[in-house]
Amino acid sequence: MSIRNEIEAVINEWNGGLDAGDIERMANTCHERTMTVNERQPVTVGVQAIRDKYNPRIAAAEITSGFDIQNLEVYGDTAIVVGRFYGTMRMRDTGEVRSPEGRLVLVYQRDENGAWKMILDLDNNGPA
């Protein structure tokens, strides 16, 4: 399997966990000290911070998500991905449908078992 296919698979695993409401599936794609830098939010570090950030979102909405890789650069055991995210969130309490989209930089590093783990998630909202 090519590195691009491996990275696509781990991104799809994250998105599949998000869409299914499975926070542990998402967390399993991350390094224990993953840093998230989301627009208009404080920087967070660690898998527990991801759980704390995404559990309320999962509880509040039915989510579908997607991601297109625009650039991928590999530096040894580190991969930097630039792309576009998009999706829908149907709010459980009101039925309102939101359509988040924007640009995203993800950085992955191979762990001791050779699996790609996210170490950085940096995004901004708005058209890509």
Residues 57-95 pLDDT 10s: 999 999 999 999 999 999 999 999 999 999 999 999 999
pLDDT digits (tens, 9 = 90+) for 3-39: 999 999 999 999 999 999 999 999 999 999 999 998 8
Q: What predicted TM-score, i.e. pTM, was given to this entire model?
A: 0.93
Query: What single string gives the DSSP state of each residue in 61-104?
Result: EEEEEEEEEEEEEEETTEEEEEEEEEEEEEETTT--EE--EEEE
How wide is the angle at C-alpha 100 spanned by C-alphas 99 and 105, nearest 5°? 150
Please give the Cα distance from 121 to 41 (Å, whole number).
Answer: 12
Q: Which domains does the chain have, with CATH numbers?
A: 3-125 (3.10.450.50)
